[in-house]
Chain A
Amino acid sequence: MSYPQPHPRFSVLSNSSLSSAEHLSPASSSRFSLPSAPSINTATTPKPGVRPNIYDRPLNKTRNAEVSAAAFAFMFSEIVQYTQKRVSGINDLERRLNTLGYRIGTRVLELMAWRNESAAKAPKRETRFLPALMSIHTHVWRAVFGKPADAIEKSVENADEYMIIDNDPPITRNISVPRDMSSLSCSSFTAGIVEAVLDGLGFSARVTAHNTPNDQYPNRTTILIKLEKSVLEREEALKT
């Protein structure tokens, strides 16, 4: 499968924000760059008393480890503030958050596949869209947020749109968006994670986040997935 033009998701930043791009990333292709971490050298044995670097640690050790929600909330708050200083508008800010989430999503997918399938006798991956969506709704959400999402919906008007609904997303629980930016949804970060997982599974899509509050859940958020035409065509062809 080839794309007629460079796939839009691989160009990290659109032209509108190229001027401010270097603030976010020194390298031009930033989405997959590693931080300048300690060398990934497994040949030398670590000295006793020296902590092994993060890449050498067993992956399953942190499987059930939990992250402090408060510490994460403060960090995410700083991320939003940092990003906000370097963008020109709400759309730009949402796309930056999406990009940051994308980098997490690629790792989440890899880690989940490794943890769930490496021990299985017949390792598999999702090749059809609906099971993939279900797996994002339950497994990805549980791995990232510790609880499954609240609902999946299919758009009535557009055949290529699906929605994942979270009634109270943990990462935006403490965020009150000012009135003049009311269309901003910081869950764009989550949208980026979903987009990366879908991309990794071969379902190219454009994923965005929208506030859809109701009386019971003021923080209710909808993650809107707009699939590419090629994906729908393939699903149609795979139908038996």
Chain B
Amino acid sequence: MAIFGLWVINKAGGLVYERSFGDGLPHLTSNEYLVLAGTLHGIHAITSRLSPTGSSSGAHVISGETFKMNILLTATGTKFVLLTSLVEPTADSMLQKVYEIYADAVMKNPFHTPEMPIRSEAFDTRITTLLG
């Protein structure tokens, strides 16, 4: 029952936002994060073509023994990834809320450049209120 981290990946596979919560996650270098995000982007693209019955939106959850990655793919191709403990029933609704905050604080902010790293104080604060 814990949330460990949040990533936002743009439609080209670049990591535009990364936040860790608590001290659950080991510290990775920013380069490692970029590689992870790019790899996940690639895996996600392949899983969306794996469906045996019609089209699919790709992987929703990738889980390990101690944690899982919840992935939300939006209509514009931006991906939100939430790292949580295995039993986290609110993960999906949290991702929706993160998406909402992103739409408000990032997309409506005239000082944000699309597809570029997110440097919006309002986004940071509201994410902290929601997840921190």
Contacts and interface: CB of A to CB of B under 8 A. Distances in A.
A176 B109 contact: yes
Contacts of A84: 110
Given A174-B105, A176-B121, A78 B111 contact: no
Contacts of B107: 74, 77
B122 interface: yes
Interface residues of A, number: 18
A175 B119 contact: no
Nearest to A218: B125
Interface string A106-128: 00000000000000000000000
A178 B111 CA distance: 7
Give the most central of B108, B109, B121, B123: most A CB within 10 Å: B108
Nearest to B121: A176
Give the most central of B107, B109, B110, B111: most A CB within 10 Å: B110
Contacts of A74: 107-108
Nearest to A174: B108
Interface string B103-132: 011011111000000011111010000000
Contacts of A132: none
Given A174-B105, A176-B105, A80 B110 contact: yes
B108 A77 contact: yes
A186 B125 CA distance: 20
Nearest to A184: B111
A100 to B, nearest CB: 13
Contacts of B121: 176
Contacts of B108: 70, 73-74, 77, 174-175
A70 B108 CA distance: 8
B97 to A, nearest CB: 16
A186 B109 CA distance: 11
A188 B68 CA distance: 47
Contacts of A178: 111, 119
Contacts of A79: 110
A81 interface: yes
Interface in B23-53: none
A177 interface: yes
Interface in A210-231: 218
10 contacts: A70-B108, A73-B108, A74-B108, A77-B110, A80-B110, A174-B104, A174-B122, A175-B110, A175-B122, A176-B105
Interface of A: 70, 73-74, 76-81, 84, 174-178, 181, 186, 218
Given A70-B108, A80-B111, A177-B111, 8 more contacts: A73-B104, A77-B108, A174-B104, A174-B105, A175-B108, A176-B123, A178-B111, A218-B125
Interface of B: 104-105, 107-111, 119-123, 125
